[in-house]
């Protein structure tokens, strides 16, 4: 049995990329709903049991728990963004662009990060590609369709969280200004 270890997943993120801003943030909208759930709790020390039956529970304490929940539907990639159908964007990708998008989603996305590292050699090996020109065309197709954008660091690309993301967009500090609260529908 052969186990392939991806050494690039542990590659350190360049410092200049850590403080840079994604070009996709200006136009991104992440629809969310603020939910509050009220729970009643009791103090276990104040529960009275007689003959195996609870006879008194004491005063109940009310605890409010709040959550932010994203409203966009997703299946590996987002199908919609703020009710805008994103499937035509995916349909407009070339076969090569879809291969690279597949590679990015399966091997490159990092939890709660707006960027990824695309290892050209690894991509070529995994998808049996012989030409670097094909890889360049894959990248160009994803860039032209705004799925990714180049960073100032070689091999590193911004991902467009409108289309793809790993983790919770609503919990990422860089995306807080992009949250759009809506009434529960």
pLDDT in tens, 70-96: 887 665 688 899 889 999 999 999 999
Average pLDDT for 144-173 = 94
User: Which pLDDT tens digit goes with each residue over 92-139?
Assistant: 999 999 999 999 999 999 989 999 999 999 999 999 999 999 999 999
Name the range with the highest mean pLDDT among 3-17, 36-50, 60-74, 99-113. 99-113
Whether 97 contacts 181, CB under 8 Å: no
Please report the DSSP string for 42-104 in residue order.
E-GGG-EEETTEEEE--PEEEEEEEEEEE---EESEESEETTEE-HHHHHTS-HHHHHHHHHI
Beta bridge partners of 77: 75, 164
* Distance, CA of 176 to CA of 74 (rounded, Å): 19
Least confident of 46-60, 108-122, 140-154: 46-60
Rounded average pLDDT over 53-71: 81
Predicted local distance difference test score (pLDDT) of residue 74: 66
Classify residue 22 as exposed, middle or buried by CB count within 10 Å of its CB (0-12, 13-18, 19+). middle
Amino acid 3: pLDDT: 45
The average pLDDT across 154-172 equals 93
Q: What is the pLDDT of residue 7?
A: 45
């Amino acid at each position: 049995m052969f186990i392939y270890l991806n050494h690039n997943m542990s590659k350190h993120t360049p410092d200049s990329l850590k403080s840079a801003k994604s070009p996709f943030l200006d136009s991104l909208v992440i629809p969310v709903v603020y939910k509050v759930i009220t729970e009643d709790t009791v103090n276990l020390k104040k529960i009275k049991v007689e003959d195996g039956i609870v006879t008194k529970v004491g005063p109940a304490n009310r605890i409010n728990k709040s959550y932010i929940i994203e409203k966009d539907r997703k299946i590996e990639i987002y199908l919609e963004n703020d009710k805008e159908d994103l499937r035509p964007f995916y349909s407009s990708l070339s076969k090569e662009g879809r291969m690279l998008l597949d590679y990015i989603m399966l091997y490159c996305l990092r939890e709660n990060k707006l960027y990824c590292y695309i290892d050209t050699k690894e991509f070529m090996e995994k998808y049996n590609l012989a030409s670097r020109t094909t890889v360049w065309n894959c990248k160009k197709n994803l860039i032209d369709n705004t799925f990714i954008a180049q960073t100032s660091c070689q091999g590193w690309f911004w991902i467009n969280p409108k289309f793809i993301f790993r983790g919770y967009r609503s919990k990422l500090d860089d995306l807080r200004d992009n949250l759009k609260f809506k009434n529960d529908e």
